Structure 1
Amino acid sequence: MNPFFLFFRKFRKYSRNHVMKASLLTISVIIYSVLSEFYIENNIASSGIHSLFTSLWWTMQTITTVGYGDTPVYGLAGRTNGMIIMVIGIGSLGYLMAGLTSMLIDIRLSSKLGERMAAEKKHIVLCNYNESTKKVLERIKYDGIDIVILNENEIKGDNEYTFVKGSFLRENDLIRAGIKKASSVIIFSRAEDKDQMGMDAENILSAMIIRKLNPEIRIIGEILNPDSREHASSFMDDIIIKGDVSSMLIYSSIMIPGIPEFINDLLTSDSISEENVDKGYMDRTYSEFIHIMEKENKIVLAFRKNDKIYLRKNSDEKLDVESYIFIKN
């Protein structure tokens, strides 16, 4: 293992343990000082300590070395006790400050090295970082969505997102990426130099692990070989076959010139939306619903039911869907 990582982990363990010890020591010194000085000085008329709060005020002045001098201590026992408190109190507070400083350094290092657990909720986890991941990030970074990237190697230049160093095939790393609290996960293929079936098998295995950790999460997976679709469909909600879409667009451009540019403009614009179908429309037919939406300048493209999307149909069947996808005219 890299010597730096060994040092970092020892440093983290050291800082966490010492912050707890320093906190307990400082609190103990404060409690002892408040009670002891009040007990010793309370019966001395000229003393400035005649209440627990005043004793606390004197204690905080003393251990922080502020020393306003507005709360005098006159008794020999009180001053002797005060000197002991000065030495122990200043030392314990310095010990605590050093521990907190090391903890802040630990947090910064943890974030930089991907050793920190993601704190987001309802976020999207991106497994593996490649060219496809970059393109997705470029698209969604303006949408205000919290993103956690789980990758085996450090990512440079993407400080806008939470980075977790680890493998998408290990449960502990997925948990650190907040997979149990995430709303969606996108599994990208991690290496181009492996065989397609091997990479697809890794993605499917990761989807199995993720599904076990969070049965409700939406899993979107990248598959390289079309033959893997059947196996992947048991664990992934949406399957993207790399190269399939581009091949279809190339074919479409032969039949309908300009269609790739049109599809690209459509997908990259903000004109496509989805809304739930109001219960008041459930007694309508598909044709009637589409006609009503057109009057509201909404061009219906498709319907969704049970997480499946179906192209629009102008029929006299009763509407039986959950939501509709449309273009705002």
Structure 2
Amino acid sequence: MINKNWYKQAWKFLQRENLDRVLLVITILVIFSSITYSIVENKTIIDSVWWTIVTVTTVGYGDISPVTLPGRLVAIVNMIVGIGVLAILSASLASFLVSKKIKEDLGMSAYKFENHIIVCEWNYRAEVIIKEFRQDSDFKEAPIILIADIDRKPIEDENLYFIKGKVSDETLIRANINKAKTAIILGDDKLEHNARDATTILSTLIVESLASSVYTIVELMNAAYIDTCKKAHADEIIVSSHISSMLISQAAINHGITYVISDLLSFQDGANKLYKVPVPRSKIGMPFIEAFVHIKQTYQSTVVALQKGLQGEVMCNPSNQYKLNNQDYLIIVATESSYQEIQKSHLR
């Protein structure tokens, strides 16, 4: 949607970058030179304007050229003044673009994205999260805004945008938190475990106070803080130490099970991954087992869980006789191509 006050913003930009005076000089030069050239060379005003612009920009097509002494004097003025004015204009634009790039890399900019992802804190887990996003076709070019108290943008990613600082009202507003889709709040590895979780919960409170509609995913180290984090209205809580401990114990009890988990969670091409899809329209009101068989036979994919609503209760391995309704979602193990086919079939 076009901003109704775009012309005011454009004028402020020209004034801020000192381009208004340059454009004024160019305009006066073109008007004066065109009128003078038209008189002394007996040319139409259109031809004179064309000649003036071609001369000032040093293009010099040669289709129109002065033959009188006054006309050549006008041409000399155009050449000398034009080179200087264009040099100033080019330098001003280059300075603006370089300054903009530096501000972005140093985390000094503000953004107006919508349905974007915000990642709070930078650590090796944040880097893995962003790389995994880029492996998924739906998030390959999704705008991601990183808020972290580091010196500059940490990795080269044209769709990753950086805001320097702690999670606060100011940094979240610059990240346009009200229009974000998801906020991922990670722990600060520079702090000890208890202080890290306390800071994470505080960040969650700040996010929720500004934009309660944003889906917040929070990383904790200590499971004892889960209830506190829920009171901060976090939508999904992941206790990283708890999950890694469970995986290690499962690996000891059932050798090789971690390979299965890693394969399901990875976004590498060709791998089977976990996806969430709506219940097929033809299976609404039918027992769960019918959807299970249909998905397996038709798409060579396996249903492993069911979610009641888009963000509701998740049932792992639901009963065969559970009656499906139109708000339920199936969590499946599938390749990306199978997932896309299921999505297309639901739209038909």
Which stretches in structure 2 are left out of the alignment for 5+ residues? 1-12, 336-348
Q: Deviations over 1:205-231 (max 9, x none)?
A: 222322344333221111122222122
Match of 1:72 in 2: 66
User: Which shows bigger deviation, 95-104 or 252-261?
Assistant: 252-261
Partner-residue secondary structure (3-state), 1:54: helix
Separation in 2 of the partners of 1:193 and 1:171? 21
Match of 1:3 in 2: none
Match of 1:61 in 2: 54
How many Å apart are 1:68 and its aligned residue? Answer: 5.2
Tell me if the contact between 1:48 and 1:71 (Cα under 8 Å) persists in the aligned partners: no
Q: Deviations over 1:111-159 (max 9, x none)?
A: 3322233465433222111232233234333221433322111357611
1:302 paired with 2:305, answer: yes
Separation in 2 of the partners of 1:271 and 1:62? 62
How many Å apart are 1:87 and its aligned residue? Answer: 5.2
Separation in 2 of the partners of 1:59 and 1:43? 13
1:45-124 alignment, distance < 5 Å: 47=41, 49-51=43-45, 53-67=46-60, 70-72=64-66, 74=68, 76=70, 88-118=81-111, 121-124=114-117
Partner-residue secondary structure (3-state), 2:167: coil
Letter in 1 for 2:305: A
Separation in 1 of the partners of 2:163 and 2:191? 21
Match of 1:265 in 2: 263
Match of 1:286 in 2: 288
Distance change (3 Å), C-alpha of 1:270 and 1:116: farther
Separation in 2 of the partners of 1:192 and 1:149? 17
Letter in 2 for 1:230: D
User: Which shows bigger deviation, 89-98 or 216-225?
Assistant: 89-98
Partner-residue secondary structure (3-state), 2:104: helix
Match of 1:11 in 2: none
Distance change (3 Å), C-alpha of 1:48 and 1:303: farther
Tell me if the contact between 1:204 and 1:235 (Cα under 8 Å) persists in the aligned partners: no
Which stretches in structure 1 are left out of the alignment for 5+ residues? 1-15
Separation in 2 of the partners of 1:114 and 1:135? 21
Match of 2:340 in 1: none
Separation in 2 of the partners of 1:274 and 1:42? 71
Letter in 2 for 1:29: V
How many Å apart are 1:166 and its aligned residue? Answer: 2.1
Q: Deviations over 1:244-291 (max 9, x none)?
A: 112222333454343333322332343322211133322212233223
TM-score, normalising length from structure 1? 0.79
Superposition CA RMSD, Å: 3.1
How many Å apart are 1:75 and its aligned residue? Answer: 7.6
Distance change (3 Å), C-alpha of 1:97 and 1:18: farther
1:141-156 alignment, distance < 5 Å: 141-143=134-136, 144-146=140-142, 147-154=144-151
Separation in 2 of the partners of 1:125 and 1:187? 8
Distance change (3 Å), C-alpha of 1:292 and 1:65: closer
Partner-residue secondary structure (3-state), 2:101: helix
Match of 2:331 in 1: 325
Tell me if the contact between 1:302 and 1:324 (Cα under 8 Å) persists in the aligned partners: yes
Separation in 2 of the partners of 1:121 and 1:63? 43
Separation in 2 of the partners of 1:19 and 1:49? 38
TM-score, normalising length from structure 2? 0.75
Tell me if the contact between 1:121 and 1:182 (Cα under 8 Å) persists in the aligned partners: yes
Separation in 2 of the partners of 1:229 and 1:246? 17
Letter in 2 for 1:284: M
Distance change (3 Å), C-alpha of 1:170 and 1:73: farther
User: Which shows bigger deviation, 278-287 or 115-124?
Assistant: 115-124
Separation in 2 of the partners of 1:232 and 1:182? 20
May I ask how many residue pairs the two structures share in their alignment?
Answer: 308
